[in-house]
Amino acid sequence: MSKLFSPLALRGLTLRNRTVVAPMCQYSAVDGIANDWHFVHLGRFGLGGFGLVIAEATGVLPEGRISYGDLGLWKDEQIAPLARIVEFLHAQGAAAGIQLAHAGRKASTPVSWRGPEDLATAEQRRAAGYEHWQPVAPSAESHDPGNADYQVPTELDRAGIARVVEGFVAAARRAERAGFDTVEIHAAHGYLLNQFLSPLANHRTDAYGGNLENRMRLPLEVVEAVRAVWPQDKPLLVRLSVSDNAPGGWSVEDSVALARELKARGVDALDCSSGGFAQGSIVSAASYQVPFARAVRQGAGIPTMAVGLLGDIAAAEAVLENGDADLIALARGALDDPNWAVHAARVLDGDYALWPVQTQRVLGRDRILGIRG
């Protein structure tokens, strides 16, 4: 059996294989509520054989959404539509995860495919669920002063920080009620928890700013609070931008230090990405972020998930065989081929068992075409 299709146990959860669908924002919700688009979008990856499917960045507070079109878990009415998706994924043998997020100063941004003409009338705005609000952040500084899509946020006070922690806790409780197998706390890509971590965005002078220990304080408080309410037999994940990819920013060494603290607080695996700030720059290429997963795995002794243009099947298997990561996550690759996992199982192991019984005519087709002898 290939490494990619060997099971992986994290606490009481055993993933059927090590393929993951990474969170992908769909900007298609109204009032944070999942709909048929989300059901079909996520459900097809269960049919496609993935081991773990993680729902998109989901706002723990209404002001924590990247856009008015994001999913949310700040109220009970948002639970049932997500539970329907979880039930379907489980029926296909996939585990279900959800990414809990707060966008911070990158909140209340437009949905890219809707222009002013699409929101010109009250009826259009109501149908789209359009809202606009004042973002919050560690410091009152825009993500990108040259981009009108980003506002100058309000600096969070202690009460605001407490509200953020409480928001993550309440959303985790709702995720449990929806039946999710794991939650992933979003501390990457220039969003709120990443803003607190990074010296590029955090210019506070209180206990939440300044040195590394202080900048890590809020993410660690969130993790501690979520771990306290998340079932002990269910794994907790965190997504990190391992590097800001910018001079003077958060570094790989900082991430290793943070990873050790996260592991000590009950985090079971780290989803290793990078970037997210306007000052950052990195050249994208196949497997370009694997070194981040390797550095954190080796430096902190914690399982990691590799991300970033990993659609080449042989290369994905090599990442695991080389000990660079424990899981392989696809986003754009999964959009391009929702059946990537079953195709990879055919290539690596000649195995068709992941195909749902309703679709196993594929085996007969492949025999006719000589794809499988």
Query: Which positions are catalytic?
Result: 191
Residues 58, 171 contacting (CB under 8 angstroms): yes
Sign of the Cα pseudo-torsion (101, 106, 108, 114, in order): negative
Rounded distance, CA 49 to CA 40, Å?
A: 15
Cross-strand pairs, 13: 10
- Tell me which H or E stretch contains 330: strand 327-330
State how far the Cα of 89 lies from the Cα of 85, in Å rounded to an integer.
6
Q: How many helices (H) and strands (E) does the chain have?
A: 13, 13
Report d(CA 165, CA 32) in Å as an integer.
19
Residue 191 CA to residue 60 CA, distance in Å, equals 13
Q: Mark out the alpha helices in 129-283 (DSSP H runs).
A: 158-178, 192-197, 212-215, 217-229, 252-264
Amino acid identity at 278? A
CA distance 200 to 215: 11
Q: What 8-state DSSP symbol labels residue 77?
A: G
Residues with Cβ within 8 Å of residue 361, at least 6 apart in sequence: none
- Gap between the Cα atoms of 355 and 339, Å rounded: 9
What radius of gyration do the chain's Cα atoms show?
20
* Neighbour count for residue 372 (Cβ, 10 Å): 15
CA distance 337 to 19: 13
By C-alpha distance, which of 16, 15, 24, 4 is closest to 239?
A: 24
